[in-house]
Amino acid sequence: MKKIKSSILVIGLVFSVAIYSQTNNLTSSPYSLFGLGVESSISTGRNSAMGNSGIALDASNGFNLYNPAAFASMVEDNFVLEFGVTAEMVNISNSDINESRNTYNFSNISIGYSRAKYGIGLTLNPATNIGYELIGLENNVEGSNDIFYTNVTGSGGINEMRLDYGYKLTDKLNLGAKLSYLFGKVEETESIVASTNYLEIYEESFYSGVRFGLGAQYNLLDTHKFGVTLDFPTSLGATKNSLVIKYNLESSSTLEDTTDERINSFDLPLQLGLGYSAKFNNLLFTTDYNKRFWSSTNQTDAIGDYVNQDIFSLGASYKKNPQSRNYFERVDYRIGFNYNSGYLKIDDTKIDSFNTSLGLGLPIGKNSSLNFSYTYSNKGTTEDILVQERSNMFNINLTLSDLWFQKRKYH
């Protein structure tokens, strides 16, 4: 009981810090201006170094959030705590600009435990991230030669609190389900400066909703695994607070002040995922395909169009001898590739991205590990009015595992 109470105290503290940290920017992408921001590319443990693949991978080396069925393969009678931090350095360029931005924050925190036939886990992680700045936009006042300047900044994003459950139906087949609560806030501040007037517009929009997903994994001949996932479409309800203040040389006045105004909900599409992994001696290969049917949401945006999204992932890892007394023979070496077609189309151009990742899994004790990953990403294009992003992302993820349910034996 003392161990359980101490663990609950630590978990509560870390979750509180993580929730507070999620309110800070986890991106500096101009493309986060679109919709509810850019999708989070952060993953847990080994998955982030293996091209964000894992639909057909087990969870014997830590959490695998790509398929709820994987929770059935957690080490039996184990309690697992996993959390991570990430740092991203982004270079943004087009024909007119070339600048660098840095962001860092918590990436995720997960807890879980397993018994003979099932595993269960609770995770908090960012689902989307917003962090953009548009400075010094110049416009003419309609019907005159006067000029005004606009500065726009945005921050926030959507967080996901999810519960995963995996059940071992047979020795070869695992089934799983997940329930996610999505919530978050999007803040935008717009300043309009003219020769004698100054307008400040502040808006904060709150989104929340529930999403359900299913998953399955099948083991063939102990070397080949197949996985499938299905996330059902859902809508995030939304309200908005607005404040508009006008300033001039002598006074200020409030033009608008509204709270809890109902606005259009945001629709998340049906998602289908297929995965395959194969193990040959000390080598593990995995590949995923994800399809997200954004076009069926029939949503519109002033900036661009929502289009169907395809994601292809490849990953590999090598561990010379998991049972060796030589520490370096137990290190897990990882590599991965990922292509994301994106769901945003601007001026008939898709905003796609290509990622390459490398990583290490350093063993700590019997089942715990310290995971490092590095990802290089190239996103967007410099054509027309668009920008290209080149980012370097570093992720550190710690997985701590401990036996909770086994009785001590005395001789």
Question: What is the rounded distance in angstroms from the CA atom of residue 86 to the CA atom of residue 339?
Answer: 21
Q: Give pairs for 376-381: CB < 8 Å, separation 24+.
A: 377/41, 377/353, 378/353, 378/354, 379/29, 379/31, 379/351, 379/352, 379/353, 379/354, 380/31, 380/351, 380/352, 380/353, 381/349, 381/351
Question: What is the rounded distance in angstroms from the CA atom of residue 65 to the CA atom of residue 316?
Answer: 17
The rounded Cα 107 to chain-centroid distance in angstroms is 8
Question: What is the rounded distance in angstroms from the CA atom of residue 86 to the CA atom of residue 373?
Answer: 10
Question: What is the rounded distance in angstroms from the CA atom of residue 325 to the CA atom of residue 322?
Answer: 9
Question: In the prediction, which pLDDT does 271 show?
Answer: 96
> 116 to each of 71, 113, 171, 228, how far by Cα in Å?
12, 11, 12, 23
- Is position 305 within any domain? yes
Which structure tokens are listed for 79? Answer: 């309690």
Question: What is the rounded distance in angstroms from the CA atom of residue 377 to the CA atom of residue 373?
Answer: 13
pLDDT in tens, 228-280: 999 999 999 999 999 988 888 777 788 888 998 898 899 999 999 999 999 98
Domain membership of residue 173 as a residue range: 2-403
Would you put residue 157 in left (φ > 0), alpha (ψ -120 to 50) or beta? Answer: left
For residue 338, pLDDT over 90 is answered with: yes
- Is position 87 within any domain? yes
For residue 408, pLDDT over 60 is answered with: no
- Is position 119 within any domain? yes
Question: What is the rounded distance in angstroms from the CA atom of residue 176 to the CA atom of residue 72?
Answer: 8
Average pLDDT rounded to a whole number, residues 8-25: 48
For residue 6, pLDDT over 50 is answered with: no
- Is position 23 within any domain? yes
Look at residue 61 and give its three-state secondary structure: coil
For residue 320, pLDDT over 70 is answered with: yes
What is the CB neighbour count within 10 angstroms for residue 210?
A: 12
Question: What is the rounded distance in angstroms from the CA atom of residue 163 to the CA atom of residue 156?
Answer: 23
pLDDT in tens, 120-160: 999 988 888 888 877 766 676 665 666 777 888 888 889 99
Q: Which of 14-23, 32-41, 256-265, 395-404 has the highest average model confidence (pLDDT)?
A: 256-265
Q: What is the CATH number of the domain that holds 187?
A: 2.40.160.60
Question: In the prediction, which pLDDT does 21 show?
Answer: 46
- Is position 408 within any domain? no
Question: In the prediction, which pLDDT does 3 show?
Answer: 47
- Is position 286 within any domain? yes
Cβ atoms of residues 176 and 166 within 8 Å? yes
pTM of the full structure: 0.85
One-letter amino acid for residue 213 of the chain: G
* pLDDT range class, residue 59, cuts 50, 70, 90: confident
Percentage of the residues of the chain whose pLDDT score is greater than 70 = 86
- Is position 411 within any domain? no
Question: What is the rounded distance in angstroms from the CA atom of residue 400 to the CA atom of residue 80?
Answer: 6
Length of the chain: 411
For residue 23, pLDDT over 60 is answered with: no
Place of tokens 């996901």: 160
Instruction: Say how many domains are in the chain.
Output: 1
- The mean of the pLDDT values for the chain is 83
- Is position 409 within any domain? no
Question: In terms of pLDDT, which residue wins out, 5 or 240?
Answer: 240
